Each structure stands twice: as C-alpha cells, then as structure tokens.
Homo-oligomer: A and B are copies of this chain.
Amino acid sequence: MGTPGREGSVDVSRRNPIASWMCAMLYCFASYIMADVLLGESPLHYFNNTSHILLATAVWYLIFYCPLNLFYKCVAFMPVKLVLTAMKEVVRVRKISMGVIHAHHAYHHGWIIMALVGWAKGAGVALISNFEQLIRGVWKPETNEFLNMSFPTKASLVGAVIFTLQQARWLPISKHNIVFLFTIFMVVTKIFMTATHSHGSPFAPIEAFICPIVFGNACGIYDDHD
C-alpha cells in the first residue's frame, strides 16, 4: 500500500473525492493493473479482491480526511516511514518475482515478456504516472519515467531481468536465494536513501562505467542531474 503524500493530491482530495479515490487506487494497484493489461486480462481483475480495495480505501480516507491530519503525520513520522519503506520494498521484490512467474505461465519462452511484465509489476505507478496525473488534471508530457528513471524503476528493471534469467535457468542459483538477496539489497538501499534523503542512485557508478562503452556517451549522468 503506497502512501501518496505529494503536493496537489491534497487539493484534489478537497475538491473532488472521487478523482482523489481513483488516483489513490491507481497508485496502490498500478502494478496489478499494468501487468493485467500487458498480459491481455481485464484491467479491473485485481478489484475482484474486494477486501484489499476496502482496506486501501480506508487508508486513503484516513490519510486525506483524518481530523488534524493525524494519520498522515503518524505515517510520515520517520521511524514508522522507515518500517513502511522496508515493507514496501519487500512487497515490490515479491511482486516482480510473481510478475515474472505469471508471464511465464502465459508465455513459456517469452523471456522479453517476462522481463517487461516483471518490470511493470515492480515499477507500476511510475511507468503510468503521466496518466495517473492526468486524472488529477496535471499533464507533464515533457518528462516521464522512461526518460528520467528513478532508483526503484531502475532496480525493478534489473530485478526483472535477473529473475527472468533465473527462470530461464541461465543463473546457477535457486529462486529462493535470489529473491532473498535482491530483497536485502532493495531494503538496505531504500532505507539508507530514505533516512539520508539521498537521491543518488547506487547504479550511478556502474552506469558511468558501462554507458560510455556501450552507448558512446555518459548517458547515466544525464539521468541523475535532470
């Protein structure tokens, strides 16, 4: 369950609860919606879990309409936030792994499909943020998550590729171990970044090394400074 505490959302929630609710649902379940769309299933498939939706609705209601903004303050309180961040990353890695397996069931040898669906599962809302913003009446076509990838998006892509390689039995390591190791990496990195308010990506040195060789230009540097 995400905690959308961005500017503008509060405005929308005051003016129009339904648009706010739709954004919150899209924010919480974007990864399921995207994976279902990419695999040709109903985008509303996940909404069959009525209890999950009601729980997310309760969280949404408490965050935006709780008297004195108490709930948001609790959630944004640093120690609580760190625990939630850690839990979010654990869920993210599990989602990526599930996405790869889900795609594997539909397309047994569609390695590229597996990686893309796993990526969509891990970085759901970031990849459709342009359209999530559109519901709130905001439209920023000049940027998107493909052009300026955040750390979780890049990490999800890396994770999806690794899990796909494991699924294809090209990695000499069991699924359980690789999920465990990747979860540790994600949780430690994200907690460190949240605690220090850092935006530097741990991938930056690797990119700075690989990009000039493969793509003839220091592409990674642009991503961070933009």
Binding site for B on A (CB under 8 A): 12-19, 22, 36-45, 47-48, 50, 53, 65, 67, 106-107, 109-113, 116-117, 130, 134-139, 141-144, 146-149, 157, 211, 214-217, 219, 222-223, 226
Contact of A48 among B44, B107, B135 (CB under 8 A): B107
**In the complex, which residues of chain B have a beta carbon less than 8 angstroms from the beta carbon of A142?**
137-139
> Contact between A147 and B43 (Cβ–Cβ < 8 Å)?
no
Q: In whole angstroms, how far apart are the Cα atoms of A124 and B14 in the complex?
A: 25
> Contact between B106 and A146 (Cβ–Cβ < 8 Å)?
no
| Chain copies in the assembled complex | 3
Main secondary structure of the interface of A (DSSP, over half): helix
> Contact between A147 and B16 (Cβ–Cβ < 8 Å)?
yes
> Contact between B134 and A141 (Cβ–Cβ < 8 Å)?
yes
Q: In whole angstroms, how far apart are the Cα atoms of A41 and B43 in the complex?
A: 10
- 9 A-B pairs with CB atoms under 8 Å apart are A13-B215, A15-B222, A15-B223, A16-B149, A19-B147, A36-B40, A47-B110, A137-B144, A138-B141
Q: In whole angstroms, how far apart are the Cα atoms of A146 and B22 in the complex?
A: 9
Q: In whole angstroms, how far apart are the Cα atoms of A36 and B223 in the complex?
A: 33
> Contact between A43 and B37 (Cβ–Cβ < 8 Å)?
yes
